Chains A and B, each alone.
Chain A
């Protein structure tokens, strides 16, 4: 525990001053580690951030929810204005990895 606190403090003096403040939606995104992002995952955040807009945020969804939605968009079982076109660009394995990464930060 003590070590963990030290790590947070180190991060703070390293310049990320907002780390001590309550995380807003947009800041919560930053906890996802982009260097570990599976192929295609970081691009999703261009539309699906944590912020509440006319586009659904992914934060409330589990990895399984996201994976299932991608599968249904791909097969046509679920309708969408645009996601049906995007989902066809990803395999089930890629979608699973993307879903896991996107669901990390809540």
Chain B
């Protein structure tokens, strides 16, 4: 097969033309079934690779030429890591035989089973995998819109925002105040705001030791809370202050020009402010009606098929995955289980009951790692924690164990990015 030529079954035509053509009703007639994957992050890129290995004709729709990884981007913000270590191309995936459509997906026609791309061309599918990740909700927190994010970066999608927050920290005078506002659940990377606080505190302690870091939280509890809180005290003394919901930590408005965070109890002025806003599933999942009123996508926990539409599967951060967090590890694990389900269903077989694993490492300092893990199985229509398994690193572990977990975090990153992009 000449990869530079569209194959017979790949429908690349204008939307108008396609509407009039019989391809609008795809058939499984001859040859490999067509699977379209929307989104080239940890979920979508993994799924595309594993589907292709099953002999399917796979197209991955992803407008960006490279992927910037969120895991470890907190270390970039803290000046501990170079952005180049976060960037991956799709070359290996393409070489493997996955077709890459380097455009945005504009519209899904659920009845006709096709996806319209930005240039108007249309891709028909037998099954569709949605992995659109998250969008920031710029309508949820008064004062925080896209323009405000240039002054108070979210840095919750890695890229220019990551470097902007880093530059602001580097420009801050010693003795300044850094404020992070953390959203209510659910959101991408539950331990992420607290890892970020930790690594920024490490930077401040090293470079600007008279500075303060304040976390204003919309919740009263957060991931790995006991471990983070103990480590902050041990490593950073009084530098880090966390204010939860019942202590008045919920930010109800921001004034970007003055870098003021307004809570129900008063105002806090930041020298560097990081707003992690509420989020929802990526745009295409909302506009195609696959997400529900929560902004996330209900799925069948065995097949990852959307509750809203047979033939469309949702994986990664956009999905409501029950007890599983919105993490890169979970996205990668879901992608492989989903690829298995899709491959079997396209052969007329039944998808088996999966078991899923999640592991999230967080760095509290470069040589101090902590983790949370879980094992999940379908129960009562959701992916549910298996009782007795999983949990967080022990509270009383030695510094040698913390150092080992920091090394394992690095090993995890190398392994998973090699599986997904290498």
Residues of A bordering B, CB below 8 Å: 13-18, 26, 29-30, 33-35, 37, 39-40, 42-49, 51, 53-55, 81-82, 85-90, 94
Contact = CB atoms under 8 A, between A and B. Distances in A.
A39 B344 CA distance: 14
Contacts of A47: 359, 408, 411-412, 415-416
A54 B411 contact: yes
B355 A89 contact: yes
Interface string B48-59: 011011110000
Contacts of A43: 332-333, 336-337, 355-357
Given A34-B343, A35-B344, A48-B415, 17 more contacts: A13-B1, A14-B97, A15-B97, A39-B354, A40-B356, A42-B50, A45-B336, A46-B416, A47-B415, A47-B416, A54-B411, A81-B371, A81-B393, A81-B397, A82-B393, A86-B373, A87-B389
A39 B332 CA distance: 15
A86 B375 contact: yes
19 contacts: A14-B97, A15-B3, A35-B343, A35-B344, A37-B336, A42-B336, A42-B337, A43-B332, A46-B329, A51-B415, A54-B408, A54-B411, A81-B401, A86-B373, A86-B390, A88-B375, A88-B388, A89-B357, A89-B386
A65 to B, nearest CB: 19
A88 B415 contact: no
A43 B419 CA distance: 11
Nearest to B3: A15
A48 B397 CA distance: 23
Contacts of A88: 375, 386, 388-390
A35 B54 CA distance: 7
B359 A82 contact: yes
Q: List 5 A-B pairs, minimum CB-CB distance, nearest first.
A: A89-B375, A15-B97, A89-B389, A54-B411, A40-B355
B373 A39 contact: no
A46 to B, nearest CB: 5
B123 to A, nearest CB: 17
A86 B356 CA distance: 10
B95 A90 contact: no
Contact of B53 (A17, A34, A90): A34
A51 B414 contact: yes
A15 B419 contact: no
Contacts of A18: 95-96
A45 B53 CA distance: 16
A39 B54 CA distance: 17
B419 A17 contact: no
A38 B352 CA distance: 8
A26 B95 contact: no
Contact of B414 (A15, A53, A86): A53
Contact of A34 (B336, B415, B422): B336
A44 B419 CA distance: 12
Interface in B72-98: 95-97
B109 interface: no
Given A16-B96, A42-B336, A85 B1 contact: no
